[in-house]
Amino acid sequence: MSKPIYILHGPNLNMLGSREPEIYGHDTLEDINDRLTDRAEQSNRSIECFQSNHEGEMVSLIQQAGSKATGIVINAGAYTHTSLAIADAISAIDIPVVEVHMSNVYQREEFRHYSYISPVAIGVICGFGAQSYELALDVLLQASTSG
């Protein structure tokens, strides 16, 4: 089997299902990962899912993905708006990265309107709840079969 696609979930995403369900819905992180795994398997691909509340660990996973994965779906949570380290790690690897947000960040507080990740990602998907992850995975699955 080919290299996996990494799914990186940032801080507080381990609380999905109970954390602000009016914003993030009722799906748990396990629900999302299970659907992504099924979707990848339907395309004869694999994914590896990670969640971290620690910026440095996310940087290490991105660096690791540079040689072990074909792409990254990343929801960096609040680090999206603060982390030059994560942006620099993405810039240092040569695989496609799709930025994901479950909520429409442009309908929320102004500080959420800026992303350090967007300029170094191939695209951004936001506002579709848990389906945002599936849309991002589809992009990477198509990219890996057409390229």
Residues belonging to the active site: 24, 101
pLDDT of residue 141: 96
pLDDT of residue 144: 66
Mean pLDDT per block of 10 residues along the chain (147 residues) reads 92 81 77 97 96 98 97 96 97 98 80 87 95 97 70
CB atoms under 10 Å from CB of 72, counted, come to: 24
pLDDT of residue 77: 93
Q: Domain residues for 47? A: 5-146
Per residue, the 3-state secondary structure of 76-92, as one string, reads: CHHHHHCCHHHHHHHHC
0.95 surpassed by pTM? no
CATH number of the domain bearing residue 83: 3.40.50.9100
Alpha-carbon span 92 to 111, nearest angstrom: 26
pLDDT of residue 145: 59
Per-residue pLDDT tens digits for 128-147: 999 999 999 999 999 865 54
pLDDT of residue 111: 67
pLDDT of residue 105: 76
The total number of structural domains that make up the chain:
1
